[in-house]
Amino acid sequence: MKVFFNGRIVNSDSPTIKALDRGMTFGDGLYEVIKVVNGKFPFIKDHVGRLEKSSKFFKIKFEYNLDKIEAIAQELSSINKIESGELFLEITRGADTIRDHIFEKEYAPTFLEVVQPLRRIDANLWQTGAKLVTYPDMRHGLCEHKTIDLLPNVLAKNYAHSKGGYEALMFRTKNGEKYVTEGGSSSYIFFDGEKIVAPKIDNILPSITRSKVLSIARSMGFEVIERRVWLDEVQRMKEVMLLSTVSKVMPVVKIDDMNFSFGSVTKKLMTAFEEMISS
Ligand code: PDD
């Protein structure tokens, strides 16, 4: 497979990354995942905007812009003959001359762009619904940014897989009470029988899928409440939805031992979101 790496299209298995790249040594970088649908990149502007915002926050040089990124993505999608799949972007603070936590003043940031087939997701899950497994959220306080230091997310998702689940439902604890944050690589929203309830963006990723789905829900006339969602109220929810760029809107039918139905609200939002990304 061909990828774009620091200004050139190269084979994905060719040696390119410098040994002391801060992405390697410190997880000092950011990433994005964008859906590829029939050769188009839905919401690419939102994704690149999120990346730019975080690069400013962390003061990582970002030398690409939306037009450039989209042109490279189109080229990669045609070279690799991938009409539908996922586009991955990563920037890091470049390579150090000696490994040191302190940033060097002059550096060339690393930039990687990959168009790949969609990762392995069992297509039946969009019909039968996914199972989630609860897991403590052990991440840092910068989870509103899409940073590449994903070890707690990787552990959470692998734990869920080892228990037969599709994703983890992560939770944090406040005054002894557990509240829902997000998944290893997904967001969650709930239908409580009247309203759509979404965990408030408080040290969780402002998911682009979630913002699109919530705006669809509002336009359908649903009331949307963003607030802290406690784990012990989840069992009273009528419907649970998993959201992400790659999972789109996926029904959730089980969280640990709690069962949920794949109801009409989830069906409506799934259909409307499919229309939105394929239009
Ligand atoms: N993950 N929360 C986390 C922790 C995520 O990593 C993701 C996306 C989401 C959903 O965000 P969005 O709707 O913007 O894709 C929520 C991508 C798909 C990944 O890491 O592969």
Query: From the alpha carbon of 211, which atom of ligand 1 is closest?
Result: 13
Kind of pairing between the strands at 196-199 and 224-227: parallel
Residues 71-96 as b/e (b if ≥16 CB within 10 A, e otherwise) read ebbbebbeebebeebbbbbbbbbbbb
Same domain, 106 and 145: no
Domain span at residue 91? 2-117
Same domain, 41 and 105: yes
Domain boundary among the residues 63, 86, 117 is at 117
Position 133 scores a pLDDT of 98
Same domain, 141 and 269: yes
C-alpha dihedral sign at 119, 120, 122, 123: positive
Number of domains in the chain: 2
Question: Residue 247: CB within 6 Å of ligand 1?
Answer: no
Q: Among 48, 207, 250, which residue has the most ligand 1 atoms within 8 Å of its CB, making it the best to mutate?
A: 207
Question: Residue 246: CB within 6 Å of ligand 1?
Answer: yes
Same domain, 104 and 131: no
189, 213 contact by CB (below 8 A): yes
pLDDT tens for residues 33-60?
Answer: 999 999 999 999 999 999 999 999 999 9
Same domain, 131 and 250: yes
Question: Residue 110: CB within 6 Å of ligand 1?
Answer: no
Q: Rounded to the nearest whole angstrom, what is the distance from the C-alpha of residue 2 to the centroid of ligand 1?
A: 24
Tell me if residue 118 falls in helix, strand or coil: coil
Domain boundary among the residues 69, 96, 117 is at 117
Q: Rounded to the nearest whole angstrom, what is the distance from the C-alpha of residue 105 to the centroid of ligand 1?
A: 31
Domain boundary among the residues 67, 88, 117 is at 117
Average the pLDDT over 235-261 and give the result: 98
Q: Among 43, 45, 213, 245, which residue has the most ligand 1 atoms within 8 Å of its CB, making it the best to mutate?
A: 245
CATH number at residue 268: 3.20.10.10
Same domain, 160 and 266: yes
Same domain, 98 and 211: no
150 φ, ψ to 5°? -105, 15
pLDDT tens for residues 188-207?
Answer: 999 999 999 999 999 999 99
User: What average pLDDT is seen over the chain?
Assistant: 97
Same domain, 241 and 108: no
Q: How far apart are CA 72 and CA 85, in angstroms?
A: 15
Same domain, 132 and 239: yes
Task: Give, in order, the Cα–Cα distances in Å from 179 to each of 10, 29, 159, 174.
Answer: 44, 28, 19, 8
Q: Rounded to the nearest whole angstrom, what is the distance from the C-alpha of residue 146 to the centroid of ligand 1?
A: 8
Nearest CA to ligand 1 atom 5: 185
Average the pLDDT over 170-199 and give the result: 98
**Length reported for the chain:** 279
Question: Residue 77: CB within 6 Å of ligand 1?
Answer: no
CATH number at residue 52: 3.30.470.10
